[in-house]
Amino acid sequence: MNEMISEKTMSLSSRPVRLGFLGVGWIGRHRMQAIIDTGIAEAVAIADPSVDMAAEAKKIVPGAALANDFDGLLAHSLDGIVIATPSAQHADQSIRALRAGVSVFCQKPLGRSAEEVAAVVGAARASDRLLGVDFSYRHTAGMNRIREIVRTEELGKIFAADLVFHNAYGPDKPWFYDKAESGGGCLMDLGVHLVDMALWSLDFPAVASVSGHLMAGGRPINDHQVEDYAVANVTLGDGMAVRLACSWRLQAGREAIVEASFYGTNGGISMRNVDGSFYDFTLERFYGTSRETLIEPPDDWGGRAAAGWARRLAAGERYDPACEKIIDVGKVIDRIYSSSREAAYKAPMA
């Protein structure tokens, strides 16, 4: 195995990484630009069912070939593929690429359930290929500092965390509102980030219990709806309490509310967005009634996850067992949906 890794490292370090891009809407093009800007990768081919989206992507990488579909991309002898397609396609497309010997960087969620996520991780392990998921908030300066401070126990015992992601807008593509295509609503779209931020910051502790409440249009959802408001309580194995809330189209007086706050016996720390921005964050540390600003904007974090994956691929990295923790995120999301359904069934009839 060491000889195989050494050969792969030599072959990739001597030339640009050959990448294919599947799905080149706004997110796909943004991640493409971030990767190309590293100078260590080339866009060999792109594929998107939208002629307009493909044309926009060609403006960034005019030398890339246009493939008709997923199989057309794989025909270009790729080292890796970047996937930014509807959620229902993520697991299947990732597995097919990995089984073809191609490393994968996929938009979140990696799967619509923990079972789908585990299948992708299993394919990465079996093929010994690098798997990355765009949990982009891990790569903000604020969340990295939070993780560092939590690990050093500067705040004492962390006993509570509150994470929020409210978006004044809803998605503009119909598939987001089709449960079969999306896997869920704002919890699957935004809440998956919150779950990952919490578990990642705390080094993925055991989860003791999960409860959730999901709503659409101000009422509990039925089996055929996707939620536009979600709240959840997660109790960790050591008794720590984690509260999560996310929404689409919340009447909140600003474009977005994004916060991640952690509270310990000796202090607290909080990353918050500035003036409703989706991109600008401050980080503050709390001691009693006083506060200290640790980080202020700007912080160009949006493409760091994609660029980091490309750099690791160029360095010859293969399967990384750390990706198995993505399954833990999927399990918590599953339990939130499950607990919400159970609560709905137990609710008294009107």
Q: What is the pLDDT of residues 203-219, one digit of tens each?
A: 999 999 999 999 999 99
Tens of pLDDT, residues 1-22: 333 333 344 345 578 999 999 9
Domains and CATH numbers, the chain: 17-135+305-319 (3.40.50.720), 137-299+331-346 (3.30.360.10)
Residue 243 φ then ψ, to 5° = -115, 135
Which uninterrupted H or E stretch holds 313?
A: helix 304-314
Q: DSSP E strands: which ranges in 64-206?
A: 65-66, 80-83, 103-106, 131-133, 158-167
Nearest CA among 311, 316, 268 for reference residue 292 = 268
Q: What is the DSSP letter of 321?
A: G
Q: What is the DSSP letter of 155?
A: T
Which uninterrupted H or E stretch holds 102?
A: none
Sign for the pseudo-dihedral over CA of 21, 23, 25, 31: negative
- How many beta carbons lie within 10 A of that of residue 179, not counting itself? 18
Q: What is the pTM of this model?
A: 0.93
Beta-bridge partners for 158: 264
**What is the rounded CA–CA span in Å between residue 155 and residue 230?**
29
- Whether the pLDDT of residue 245 is over 80: the answer is yes
- How many beta carbons lie within 10 A of that of residue 102, not counting itself? 23
Q: Tokens 């969620």 — which residue?
A: 109
9/147: higher pLDDT: 147
